[in-house]
Amino acid sequence: MNQMRVVVLFGGCSSEYSVSLQSAYAVMEGLDEKKYQVIPIGITKEGKWLQYDGNRSRIPEDTWQSGECHPAWIVPSKDIHGIIVLQEDGSYQTQHVDVVFPVLHGKNGEDGTVQGLCDLAGIPYVGCGTLSSALCMDKDLAHVVAKAAGVAVPDFVVLQSYMNQEEQKKKCESLKYPVFVKPARAGSSYGITRVEKQEALASAIETAFHHDTKVVIEEMISGFEVGCAVLGNQKLTVGEVDEIELHTGVFDFHEKYTLETSRIHVPARIDEKTANRIKETAKVLYRALECEGMARVDMFLTPENEIVFNEINTIPGFTSHSRYPNMMKAHGLSFATVLDHLIEAAITE
């Protein structure tokens, strides 16, 4: 049986660079070496692309750049269907690639940019397409689509960097506190602030604008966050619903990857009927935003048992703390099986 050549992209010009290293290492270790020949390509924080041929354990340690690297890129020309690798003597070689597995969280990886490159190259890739990735990354547009699909969304306003202070102030007049101020297209809770009173709003908006040129301000939804791991293209598999139990006000970047004061329950502590409603809503959102391959659909469950859309993560984490693989595990799918299904979904699209 011939091995399938799989490029695993990791790192990236994103504030989530370090998380990508952890996730990509887990993916590379989880891929069956009898089925797949893994080709690791790392992207540095500065945007340099390097094929890495060293010990994989150096990737999560972020010491991988110090040796055994060659500049390498996905070639947009369809006749190559792969990558070009620059050799030390200045020559280059091309390598055929069967599928790309992007493990790039946040900007410049989860937002449709890399997906567009793979589309140009004609190389299948794991996960959502260019349009879906861009839509899901944008908290404003994702909410618009979710609402049009009949799913409840928080009340929200949108601020743009081109607006002057008077325009921004007028937009915020209808807000009812507390609210969450978020960069529209940043991942992993960077730049998000919970605001209890109007006096703290300006500072929170300024913080969010450090991360993006568009800011979303959402009403706080009472209740707790639940999530669904969704897998597939035409036929969908939905993992067990999980639940985030918070002991602080925000499930921020630190909490997501340390769980110091919060807990994630899989399955969620809800009745079966409610869990099924959440799963069906996740499918509606997955379809509405034209997701493929995989996505983690995050929602809120209110005290009145109403389901409210939060966001969709198109390249969810694959670390030991990560929700997506743990929800699939609770559904009966091992990590290796999930990876097999993801690659199969990519090449059979």
| DSSP string for residues in 81-97 | -EEEEE-TTS-EEEEE-
Confidence check: pLDDT of 256 > 60:
no
> Of the residues 107, 125, 143, which one is the last residue of a structural domain?
125
Instruction: Give the DSSP letter string of 96-127.
Output: E-SEEEE---STTTSSSHHHHHHHHHT--BSS
According to DSSP, the β-strands at 214-219 and 193-195 are unpaired
What stretch of H or E contains 169? helix 165-171
Query: Does residue 293 lie within any of the structural domains?
Result: yes
**One domain for residues 227 and 261:** yes
**One domain for residues 95 and 118:** yes
Residue entry with tokens 């306003």: 157
Query: Does residue 244 lie within any of the structural domains?
Result: yes
Average confidence (pLDDT) over 254-265: 64
**One domain for residues 146 and 291:** yes
Confidence check: pLDDT of 21 > 70:
yes
The predicted-structure confidence for 114-132, as pLDDT tens digits, reads as follows 999 999 999 999 999 999 9
**One domain for residues 65 and 191:** no
Query: Does residue 241 lie within any of the structural domains?
Result: yes
What's the pLDDT at 250? 53
> Of the residues 219, 238, 256, which one is the last residue of a structural domain?
219
**One domain for residues 78 and 139:** no
Contact 275, 301 (CB under 8 A): no
Query: Does residue 130 lie within any of the structural domains?
Result: no
Average confidence (pLDDT) over 87-109: 93
The predicted-structure confidence for 300-314, as pLDDT tens digits, reads as follows 999 999 999 999 999
Query: Does residue 332 lie within any of the structural domains?
Result: yes
The domain that holds 328 is classified in CATH as 3.30.470.20
> Of the residues 219, 246, 271, which one is the last residue of a structural domain?
219
- What is d(CA 147, CA 259) in angstroms, rounded to the nearest whole number? 31
**One domain for residues 256 and 140:** yes
Question: pTM (2 decimals)?
Answer: 0.92
The predicted-structure confidence for 140-187, as pLDDT tens digits, reads as follows 999 999 999 999 999 999 999 999 999 999 999 999 999 999 999 986
Contact 268, 244 (CB under 8 A): no
What stretch of H or E contains 263? strand 263-265
Domain count for the chain = 3
Q: Which residue range(s) make up the domain with 103?
A: 4-125
